[in-house]
Structures are given as C-alpha cells and as structure tokens.
Amino acid sequence: MLSAPLIAASGNAALQDAEERIRDAEFDVTRGFFSIGEALKKIRDGELWKQAGARNWGDYCQQRRINYSKRYSNKLIRMPQNRELLADLSGPGHICPTWTVTAVEELHRLSEPNDIRRVSKKAATRVKNGAAFSTRLVHKLVDDDLGLTRQRKEAKQAQEAADYKRLYEPPTVAATLSEWGNDINSKLRTLESLDESLWDDALNESSDVLRYVENAAADLAAFLKAYRLKTEAPRDGNVSKIAIAHVMED
C-alpha cells in the first residue's frame, strides 16, 4: 500500500495525482490493478519519477514511494492494455469471480487481440457452466489455443509407447549388437585414456585379468565373424558349416 506521508511530500501535482490514484485503487480488490497499472504507466512513461528525485524508473520503485518492485510495476502496467478484451465472468452463483493479475498475465502469452478475446470468452463460458474460475483454468485454455496441450499429449503417448516397447518387447539381435558395439567403443576409449602407471598396478595385482578379458573379446569376435561368414557365404549349408568350423578352430 502507498505511503500517505510520502505522497503529501511530493511537490509535483501530476506525480501526486498519480500516486493518489494508486492508493485509492488499492482498495478495489476486483479490478483495481487496472487503475494502478494506468497510474504507474503515467509515472514511468511521463518520467514523473524525476519529480521524486529518482535517477530513473527503477530507482523510483526502490524508493518505496509505492509498494511495488520494478518488475511487478511493469507487469501491472501491461494489465490495462487488453482490458476491453476481457469477457464478463458473471456465473450462475451469487459470488461473481473477477479477473486477476495472474489470469490476465496468462492471456498475455497470446500475441493477437482476437486470440485474447476468444480465450477470455471461453473462460467466461466455462464459469457460466459452473466451473470455478482460476489462473489454472486460463492457463489450460491458453495452452489449448497455442496447441501446447496436443503437443504434450502426443509427446506423452510417444514416450509411453517407447517405454512399453523397452519393457515388454524383446530387442532385436541387431539392436543388441549395436548397443554392445557402442558400449565396447566407450569402454575402449576409457581404457586408452588411462595413465600407464595404472596399467602397471592392475597387472601387478592380477595378470590373469588382462588375459581373461582378452580371451573373452577374442571368443566374441570369433563368434560374430562366424555368423557374418555364414550370412555372406553361398546358400549351401555344408559350406556354411565348414566356414564356421574353420573360424571357431582359429
């Protein structure tokens, strides 16, 4: 709330008038923020803040002549811009909801006046049909208008399909081998980056470890090579078996 003594101390009639409008509007809990925004715009754009001895608009806000930060003041200044586009929220109940700063701010995500008017009418229709008015309601309506709800739904469905496939559908051999190849290459790069002293320590602890991994890698390579030859060889079962037996013996 505005500080009355500070208002009286102002020597500028235009600034004093604007600050008094802010003070009076603060008692209007329904649509007072529109009037506050208009008064703040007059102070900011008309550079009335200079009459308060402020260096700039931000400095004026920090002086606490008004109880609003620069950021929130700028937000309030935007409020009256689309005031006439807002639909009446009168509903079937005895309590009539009103537009709030946060709800109007949601509408400002829409760039065109016609879009703001259309979505505000949708909100009013929902309220007249018994829905409770809230910023969350306006947020969802704006999301729907921007197509974000559909995009999120499609992304969620795609993720669910991918999760189902990963959990319940066995991977193909090609997918498994591709994953192994990536994993092996990653581990190889890690080993190549190790300091030579670490290799000495590992061999001193157990020379059998290196030989074990080497043999396992050789067995895997021989197994894969055998199946590759089987695929590339002529469609003669005997030839394929001979080729595989030859590779496995090596």
Say whether pLDDT at 239 is over 80.
no
Q: Among 123-137, 152-166, 172-186, 203-217, whose mean pLDDT is lowest?
A: 203-217
Residue 65 in 3-state DSSP? Answer: coil
- Rounded to 10°, the helix 32-45/70-78 angle is 110
* Separation CA 247–CA 190 (nearest Å): 30
**pLDDT-derived band at 94, boundaries 50, 70, 90:** low
| pLDDT value for 92 | 63
**pLDDT-derived band at 136, boundaries 50, 70, 90:** very high
114's tokens: 């016609």
Q: Tell me which DSSP letter residue 132 carries.
A: P
| pLDDT value for 5 | 42
- Computed over every residue of the chain, the mean pLDDT equals 83
Query: Which of 39, 86, 90 is closest to 66 using CA atoms?
Result: 39
**pLDDT-derived band at 7, boundaries 50, 70, 90:** very low
| pLDDT value for 250 | 52
| pLDDT value for 113 | 92
Q: Which pTM does this prediction carry?
A: 0.54
Say whether pLDDT at 238 is over 90.
no
